[in-house]
């Protein structure tokens, strides 16, 4: 009964995280309204919607410390990455199907280019994570992850010669903000408070401008951070109550709660026909999560730690499970990418296949909790390797 109470509160916190992330994303989108499609989704939208993951990882490390804190943060990042990779594109496809959009947008040059770009960088980020995450880590492990995300941003923002369709999308983004301003003025202040719509509260009387946008970002970040702090506390309590490792709680519950903003942002973009932004937000969020949202907390924790290191894994089995999860991410990325780009599959088939892949991931996590023989044998094989013996 207590566990159900915790889960109910987590659902409420997830709503607060989503609502404040909406305002955070709207304000940040205004600041980056002149960006090209795909680029906007992979940067402004991705960073805005992934802020809960960053805050959650910071709080996990700050509260729980070395092993348990990193397990919580790492589990949140991996679970969120797989959720973004499989569930969000599936939701985008379902949205396209029910809004009766043409599948041409999925195979347009801008969408295909964004997909190829983000998947290549995502696989590289996953490979880097496979190399850098070790039982004992130093400040430069986190720094290298952040530098890779910096490289990704440099590649996105340093492009020259945008085509006319990109400029048209930038104009459409400005018009979108104007339409939203008109809609929010029709709602009452009480309605906006109940919705936790900070953006609308600030634009009820006056149109959005740069100063108001930054004020919205600050307030949304404060409320979002408070919610993430309580989320971390409840995840720890739930894990202790059910006797489930914190990494498992983080993989499923914390990851799902913090991925809700990504889901709604991508669905909203898909409803408007912005397929490139919808998919780039999900994949770009993954790159942000795995590199910056994990790298920055690691870097700061080690930098201000008396030990000067992060002892991430106390037991061999936990490290072996983390290795398996990193390989699972890579293995799931490839079929997910193929499902999205193969034109012979219709939208319903694509969506179903992605959800099946996510179901297999959930089953893998369940198998770890239940200590299924096949999974335990795989973990034993990983622990028996020369690399494992040298690291542990």
Instruction: Enumerate the H helices of 275-344 as residue ranges.
Output: 275-287, 294-303, 316-341
Q: What is the pLDDT of residue 46?
A: 62
Burial of 102 (0-12, 13-18, 19+ CB in 10 A): exposed
User: Which residues lie below 8 Å from residue 92, measured CB to CB, with a gap of 6+?
Assistant: 266, 267, 269, 270, 275, 278, 279, 282
- Angstrom CA distances, 243 to 3, 235, 240, 250, 369, stand at 11, 12, 5, 14, 10
Domain assignments of the chain as residue spans, ordered by start: 2-313
Q: What is the pLDDT of residue 171?
A: 37
Q: What is the pLDDT of residue 128?
A: 94
Q: What is the pLDDT of residue 79?
A: 92
Helix or strand or coil: residue 311?
strand
Q: What is the pLDDT of residue 102?
A: 67
CA distance 81 to 282: 8
Q: What is the pLDDT of residue 311?
A: 85
Q: How many CB atoms are closer than 10 A to CB 388?
A: 16
Full pLDDT tens readout for the chain, 392 residues: 788 888 899 999 988 988 888 888 788 777 777 766 556 655 666 666 678 888 899 899 888 777 788 888 999 999 999 998 999 989 988 988 888 776 666 667 777 787 888 889 999 999 999 999 988 889 999 999 999 998 988 887 776 444 434 434 443 444 444 445 444 555 667 777 777 888 888 887 777 888 888 888 889 889 999 999 999 999 989 988 988 888 899 998 999 888 887 788 788 878 877 776 777 777 777 888 899 989 999 999 998 888 888 888 777 788 888 899 999 999 999 999 888 888 888 888 889 999 999 999 999 888 888 877 777 787 787 777 766 666 55
Q: What is the pLDDT of residue 78?
A: 92
Tell me the pTM.
0.83
Q: What is the pLDDT of residue 168?
A: 43
């Amino acid at each position: 009964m207590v566990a159900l109470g915790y889960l109910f509160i987590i659902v409420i916190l997830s709503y607060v995280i989503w609502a404040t992330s909406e305002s955070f994303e709207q304000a940040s989108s205004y600041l980056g309204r002149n960006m090209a499609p795909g680029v906007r989704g992979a940067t402004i939208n991705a960073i805005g919607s992934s802020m809960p993951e960053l805050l959650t990882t910071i709080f996990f490390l700050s509260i729980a410390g070395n092993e348990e804190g990193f397990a919580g943060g790492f589990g949140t990042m991996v679970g969120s990455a797989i959720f973004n990779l499989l569930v969000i594109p599936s939701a985008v496809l379902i949205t396209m199907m029910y809004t009766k959009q043409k599948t041409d947008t999925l195979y347009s040059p801008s969408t295909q280019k964004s997909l190829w770009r983000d998947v290549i960088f995502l696989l590289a980020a996953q490979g880097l994570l496979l190399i850098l995450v070790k039982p004992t880590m130093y400040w430069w492990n986190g720094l290298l992850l952040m530098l890779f995300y910096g490289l990704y941003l440099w590649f996105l923002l340093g492009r020259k010669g945008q085509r006319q369709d990109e400029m048209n999308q930038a104009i459409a983004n400005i018009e979108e903000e104007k339409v939203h301003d008109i809609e929010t003025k029709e709602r009452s202040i009480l309605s906006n408070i109940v919705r936790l719509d900070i953006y609308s509260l600030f634009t009820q009387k006056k149109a959005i401008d740069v100063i108001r946008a930054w004020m919205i970002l600050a307030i949304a970040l404060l409320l979002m951070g408070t919610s993430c702090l309580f989320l971390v506390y409840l995840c720890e309590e739930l894990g202790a109550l059910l006797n489930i490792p914190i990494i498992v709680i983080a993989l499923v519950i914390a990851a799902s709660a913090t991925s809700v903003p990504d889901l709604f942002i991508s669905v909203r973009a898909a409803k408007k026909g912005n397929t490139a932004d919808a998919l780039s937000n999900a994949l770009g969020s993954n790159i942000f999560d795995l590199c910056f949202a994990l790298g920055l907390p690691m870097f700061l924790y080690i930098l201000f730690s008396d030990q000067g290191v992060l002892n991430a894994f106390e037991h061999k089995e936990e490290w072996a499970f983390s290795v398996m999860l990193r390989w699972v991410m890579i293995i799931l990325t490839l079929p997910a990418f193929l499902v999205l780009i193969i034109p012979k599959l219709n939208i319903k088939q694509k969506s179903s296949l992605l959800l099946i892949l996510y179901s297999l991931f959930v089953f893998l996590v369940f198998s770890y909790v239940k200590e299924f023989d096949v999974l335990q044998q795989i973990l034993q094989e990983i622990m028996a390797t020369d690399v494992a013996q040298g690291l542990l």
